[in-house]
Amino acid sequence: MTGKTIAENRKARHNYFIEDDFEAGIMLVGTEVKSLRAGGANIQESYASFENGGLYLVNAHIAEYNFGNRNNHDPSRPRKLLMHRKELNKLEALLQRAGKTLVPLSLYFNERGKVKVKLGLAAGKKQHDKRQTEKMRDWNREKQRLLKTDGR
């Protein structure tokens, strides 16, 4: 992923085990792109799901463009995600397994200026899993600190 990050879902790695990630394009209207260039996006509560034979980003909020007219976009409409058919079929098969969901990890402009979504194939974490992850992160931080001070 290179380019300018628009929005990031930082809680995704805390709430889910991310098994694999995928890149998808997104179908947008003009005022949505202008709003994204201004930085008006939130993907914290969003997810991707298969509807009507396609993959859609649901519950993502792209703020209305300030200088838009009466043809401005709906901020929370479902947006179609663009992927190759083989990738879509693979994803649909993976999602059939119990407890899997597609969570957007980040929304960004690629090097060509196109808006892309990085999706993660995720399985939910239980509370004890979250605590274990936090313990490991704290221990690794402490270990690095000790190695740094002892190594001189």
The string of DSSP codes covering 4-38 is EEEEE-TTHHHHEEEEEEEEEEE---HHHHHHHHT
56-85 in b/e burial notation, b at 16+ Cβ within 10 A?
bbbbbebbebeeeeeebbebeebbebebee
Structure tokens at 90: 């693979």
Residue type, 148: K
pLDDT tens per residue across span 20-41? 889 999 998 888 888 888 888 8
* Residue 108, φ and ψ in degrees, nearest 5: -155, 165
Contact 2, 111 (CB under 8 A): yes
* CA dihedral over 28, 53, 110, 4, signed as positive or negative: positive
All domains of the chain in start order, with CATH = 4-125 (2.40.280.10)
Residues 6 or more apart from 71 whose CB is under 8 A from it?
A: 31
pLDDT of residue 23: 93
pLDDT tens per residue across span 114-147? 999 999 888 777 777 778 888 888 888 888 888 8
Host H or E run for residue 119: strand 115-124
pLDDT tens per residue across span 56-97? 999 888 888 777 777 777 778 889 999 999 999 888 888 887
pLDDT band with cut points at 50, 70 and 90 for residue 2: low
